[in-house]
Structure formats: C-alpha cells, structure tokens
Amino acid sequence: MFRFRGLRSGAPPAGPKEGKKKNMEKFTARQKFILSLLLKGPLPLDDVSRQLDVSGRTIFREIAAVNRLLEGSGARISVKNAELTLLGGERELLTLKQSLGSLPKRWLLTAEQRVLFITAQLLLAEKPCKSTFFSVQLNVADGTVSAYMDKIQSWLAEKNLTLSRKRRYGIRVEGSEWNKRNALVSLIYDYKPVEELLPFVYGAKQDPVLRFFSASCSGTAFYGCRREF
C-alpha cells in the first residue's frame, strides 16, 4: 500500500469557514458582552467601560483579542475618537450574532443594577451567601463584588442593619426582619419612583431587576443563594 508524504489518515483538515466558526466559539463571556452591545450600534468607550466595571485599558485589550478571533470573518471592532463600532456586512454580522447565542440577562445589568440585585438577594437570603456566588452569577471579578459589598454595607447601616462578612462563614444581613422588609421596600423605590414603577407593574415594560423583585415576593427567585431567576 502506497503512502504519500504529508498526508495523514483521519478526518480532513477544517476548511476556512469551519476555522472561523471555531474561533468565534472561543469568545470569553466578557468579549461576548462587548460584542452584544456593539451589535446594537456604536458606543463610547467610557460607556462600555462603565457597564463592565473595568478600565479603558482592559477594554482595549479585549478588543484586540476579539479582533484576532474575528480575523477572516469579515467583521471587526473599530476604535475611533474613543467610540467603538462593530464593522462588517449584514451577513457577517448576522453570523456573528448567531454564534454568540443568548447571554444571561443578569450579565447585562449596569453597575447600579448589580448592587441592587445583590442587596435584594442578601436581604431575602435565609442562609449566608458566598462572594464567589455573586461573582459567577453576574460574571464580574471578585474585586468588583468586594467593592459592591462596601457600598451595600454603608447603605444597610443607614437602615439599622449590619452586613456580616466572614471569609469561611459567608455574607449575610443581620438585623430584625422588620428592618429587612423596610429596607427591601426602600430599595425598590430608590431604584424606580412610583410613577415609573407602574408601567412595569402592568407589564408594559420589562426590567430584569424588577422582575427579580417580583419573583422574590412570590418566593420563586432563589433559595439560599443557589437558585437563579
């Protein structure tokens, strides 16, 4: 049996299209988030940085990594005058969008919404929560969660509540149930004034944080910081 040099038995090498598809599957969660934002239209660099709670330098690193993975796909991120734009033809951008799949809505929360989201869970939790839980749930760094906890701790102190943060024990809100309930109500109204809440109550608008509050009242949001909406 003759063997030709340079050829190996087995599956044929991946073609150009297959190679591009595999590259797109390598996007990190943060990179997918950036692309999902830019698929809706151009955005200032500061806006993306603020939404992700990372520095502009980190965003630039992510863009460089994304553009390497997008090579040969017909799409790329352009940075001009501190504005990010996703360039590409209609077909290329549609292919990119399909490759990203759907992102958990909790990953799309702003920094303010994340703080509210975590605070609500802590107020309703029956058991201590781990910092890692929030880090994974919201797809943010541990340091970011720690910064959120500092803000939450200060806010809770105004409500006559204490945030206990012990490394092995976990994080929990300490205080009377009355104060916890009042704090939760205050949290909702701080987030949306009464006149802005009505469209959400009647289903005219959607908001992931308010959807969590609604689920919390019915007891379907989570249990012991494990279940997620």
Residues 69, 150 within the same domain: no
pLDDT value at position 23? 55
Residue 155 pLDDT > 80? yes
List the beta bridge partners of residue 174: 162
pLDDT value at position 226? 43
Q: In this predicted model, which residue has the larger pLDDT, 220 or 209?
A: 209
Q: Which residue type is seen at 102? A: S
Q: Which among 75, 102, 129 is the end of a domain? A: 102
Per the structure, the complete domain to which residue 154 belongs is given by 107-218
User: Which whole number is the average pLDDT over 69-88?
Assistant: 94
3-state helix, strand, coil in the chain (%, to 5): 55, 10, 35
Residue 29 and residue 21: Cα distance in Å, rounded? Answer: 16
pLDDT value at position 198? 43
Hey, is 10 helix, strand or coil?
coil
Q: In this predicted model, which residue has the larger pLDDT, 105 or 218?
A: 105
Residues 214, 111 within the same domain: yes
Sign of the CA dihedral running 150, 226, 33, 207: negative
Cβ neighbour number for residue 156 with a 10 Å cutoff: 21
DSSP 213-227: HHHHHHT-S-STTT-
Residue 79 pLDDT > 70? yes
Residues 127, 207 within the same domain: yes
Q: How far apart are the first and last CA of the chain?
A: 61
Q: Which among 39, 72, 102 is the end of a domain? A: 102
Task: Using DSSP bridges, classify how beta strands 83-88 and 43-44 pair: parallel, antiparallel or unpaired.
Answer: antiparallel
List the beta bridge partners of residue 166: 170
Residues 34, 136 within the same domain: no
The two structure tokens encoding residue 166: 């012990």
Weakest-pLDDT range from 42-56, 64-78, 200-214: 200-214
User: Which whole number is the average pLDDT over 100-122?
Assistant: 81
CATH of residue 79's domain is: 1.10.10.10
pTM higher than 0.75? no
According to the per-residue pLDDT averaged within each range, which of 25-34, 51-60, 130-139, 169-178 is highest? 169-178
Number of independent structural domains in the chain: 2
Taking a C-beta distance cutoff of 8 angstroms, is the pair 175, 160 a contact? Answer: yes
The two structure tokens encoding residue 34: 């950036």
Residue 6 and residue 4: Cα distance in Å, rounded? Answer: 6
Q: In this predicted model, which residue has the larger pLDDT, 191 or 122?
A: 122
Residue 89 and residue 162: Cα distance in Å, rounded? Answer: 54
Residue 140 and residue 156: Cα distance in Å, rounded? Answer: 22
Residues 91, 116 within the same domain: no
pLDDT value at position 142? 87
Average pLDDT, the chain: 78
Residues 168, 194 within the same domain: yes
User: Which whole number is the average pLDDT over 86-111?
Assistant: 85
User: Which whole number is the average pLDDT over 115-140?
Assistant: 88
Residues 160, 64 within the same domain: no
The Cα-based distances of 178 to 160, 181, 184 in angstroms read: 10, 5, 10
Q: Which among 56, 75, 102 is the end of a domain? A: 102
